[in-house]
Amino acid sequence: QSALTQPASVSGSPGQSITISCTGTSSDVGGYNHVSWYQQHPGKAPQLMIYAVSNRPSGVSNRYSGTKFGNTASLTISGLQAEDEADYYCSSYASSNTPVFGGGTKLTVL
């Protein structure tokens, strides 16, 4: 199972919005509504931010939103804040009945 494709890095200024893409195939992202997004600060464990494409766990800011079109899922963070600076990973359930992760995207808040 090949890893999902994410941009290596994105950046934005405080208050702006950014979008991170996550491209897979019809055997993973395109075939199931089980895409998750994780935030990871340096030296910390990942934290679930979005699940089932567009659902936010309790406690996650509504500045985080997720969408999917075809084989590409996207994470949008609006009203960027310094605390959003982190690595972000997408993940999808796949037809192999195992998950596949993206390579990760480093978000820099300028």
Binding site for another protein (CB under 8 A): 3, 32, 34, 36, 38, 40, 44-48, 51-52, 57, 89, 91, 93, 97-104
Query: At 84, is the secondary structure helix, strand, or coil?
Result: helix
Q: What is the DSSP letter of 32?
A: -
Query: At 29, is the secondary structure helix, strand, or coil?
Result: helix
Q: Which is nearer to another protein, 64 or 93 (CB)?
A: 93
Residue 59 CB, nearest distance to another protein (Å)?
A: 11
Residue 65 CB, nearest distance to another protein (Å)?
A: 17
Q: Which is nearer to another protein, 45 or 82 (CB)?
A: 45
- Is residue 30 a contact partner of residue 13, using CB atoms and an 8 Å limit? no
Cα gap 75→53, rounded to integer Å: 9
